[in-house]
Amino acid sequence: MDDISLTTTSDDGFDTQSVIGDFALAIDPMEETGPNPNAVLVADYASCFLPAVRVGAQKAGYDDLGRMEIDATATLDDEDDLENIEFTLKVEADVDDPDELAALGEDICHVHAALREELHADITVEAGAFDN
């Protein structure tokens, strides 16, 4: 039995529609009907990493981290392949060891584990990011 099953369709042109369970996702390398595949991969990485940090922090005994957000950037090489990904992880709570949060996310995030090592995100953590 497959753990993940989806259908991706392209009726014409380059844009695709992926159906994953009850959800549809439009992806278009030309960025006319949806984000391009590289952008979707970076978003997928960030959307996996953020809850992985929260789960890891809970397991490590952290109090509630509050609001969290990732600003992600990526660079492409001359062939439009992902060359570098950087995350700035913003955390509402003040934490003693921000680098530990990054390590906790790296240990749990499945997308992080799936990417080649040289493409793992370079992560900066900003604690107390939403203080007024």
Q: What is the pLDDT of residues 8-63, one digit of tens each?
A: 999 888 999 999 999 999 999 999 999 999 999 999 999 999 999 999 999 999 99
Confidence of residue 132 (pLDDT cuts 50, 70, 90): low
Confidence of residue 103 (pLDDT cuts 50, 70, 90): very high
Confidence of residue 1 (pLDDT cuts 50, 70, 90): low
Higher pLDDT pick, 64 / 131: 64
Whether the predicted pLDDT of 116 surpasses 90: no
d(CA 30, CA 13): 10
Three-class SS state of 16 = strand
Confidence of residue 78 (pLDDT cuts 50, 70, 90): very high
Whether the predicted pLDDT of 118 surpasses 70: yes
Work out the average pLDDT over 101-115.
Answer: 94
Residues 6+ apart with CB under 8 A from 8: 16, 17, 18, 19
Confidence of residue 111 (pLDDT cuts 50, 70, 90): very high
Work out the average pLDDT over 70-97.
Answer: 95
What tokens appear for 34 in the block? Answer: 């949806």
Q: What share of the chain is helix, strand, coil (3-state, %, to 5)?
A: 30, 30, 40
Q: Which amino acid is at 43?
A: A
